Amino acid sequence: GQNIDQPTEMTATEGAIVQINCTYQTSGFNGLFWYQQHAGEAPTFLSYNVLDGLEEKGRFSSFLSRSKGYSYLLLKELQMKDSASYLCAVRDRDYQLIWGAGTKLIIKP
Amino acid sequence: TAGITQAPTSQILAAGRSMTLRCTQDMRHNAMYWYRQDLGLGLRLIHYSNTAGTTGKGEVPDGYSVSRANTDDFPLTLASAVPSQTSVYFCASSDEEADTQYFGPGTRLTVL
């Protein structure tokens, strides 16, 4: 079967750095997405990786290792508004998105 | 632009009744999707459409039907609602099936 694993919940301090991991086992691989979802709102696109390595976008970076079936989202200089759920999704060989259950990130002052 | 709109925002429905959730996008995207999101589970695909006039089944299609008469609209119908269909429903679209998906604000449905 296809599976995406992420930690259920993480806590971090305002101004700090946090890394959210995602491991996957899917039927083929055609890219990995990270989305942010604030409580009661829709998911919004953060990043996309299809090749190995690090993609940096402001305070957020996303890393991919296809051989390890592993990705992480790195958030720097955390702000209170970063409190949200972070969803990892992998596109399989049929171009269907397989979603993780999400990681709830709690930021404390 | 509005992007993707969904209606209603929320609804309480008696079991056995039918209901259509509406989704409209103004981005001229070819592909559209319906997901349900339940606590502790990832988004699960119900139905999708890669282009107007075509639809396909996702991971959890039973009890739901869709149509895609034109590019902009992708309604989801529950013919006879059951309590297990209580969920938050998100509509999404992408330019092509392999592109980034963009989500509507969601419909919170409670079936009693």
Give tens-digit pLDDT for A35-88.
999 999 999 999 999 999 999 999 999 999 999 999 999 999 999 999 999 999
Q: Whole-angstrom Cα distance, residue B44 to residue B21?
A: 16
pLDDT at B1: 57
Q: What is the pLDDT of residue B51?
A: 94
Confidence class for position A96, pLDDT limits 50, 70, 90: confident
Question: How many CB contacts within 8 angstroms connect chain A with chain B?
Answer: 40
CB-based contact A96 B43, cutoff 8 Å = no
Which residues from chain B sit within 8 angstroms of residue A4, using beta carbons? 42
Per-residue pLDDT 10s for chain B (112 aa) are: 579 999 999 999 999 999 999 999 999 999 999 999 998 888 999 999 999 999 999 999 999 999 999 999 999 999 999 999 999 999 999 988 778 999 999 999 999 9
For residue A72, the cross-strand partners are A21, A63
Considering only the beta carbons, identify the residue of B40, B45, B103 that sits closest to A43.
B103
Element (H, E) at A87: strand A84-91
Count Cβ atoms below 10 Å from residue B6 Cβ, excluding itself. 21
Please give, rounded to a whole number of angstroms, the shortest distance from the CA of A17 to a CA of chain B. 25
* Alpha helices in chain A, H assignment, sequence order: none
Contacts of B6 (CB under 8 A, 6+ apart): B21, B22, B23, B89, B90, B91, B104, B105, B106, B107
Torsion of CA A83, A77, A21, B46, to 10 degrees: 40
- How many other CB atoms are there within 10 angstroms of residue A60's CB atom? 17
Residues 24-83 in B contacting A (C-alpha not used; CB under 8 Å)? 40-45, 58
pLDDT at site B42: 85
Judged by CB atoms closer than 8 Å, whether chains meet at A99 and B105 is answered as no
Q: Which residues of A touch B101 (CB under 8 A)?
A: 45, 97
Q: Does B105 touch chain A (CB under 8 A)?
A: yes
The confidence score (pLDDT) of residue A6 equals 97
- Inter-chain contact A42–B103, Cβ cutoff 8 Å? yes
Which residue has 């259950």 as its token pair? A101
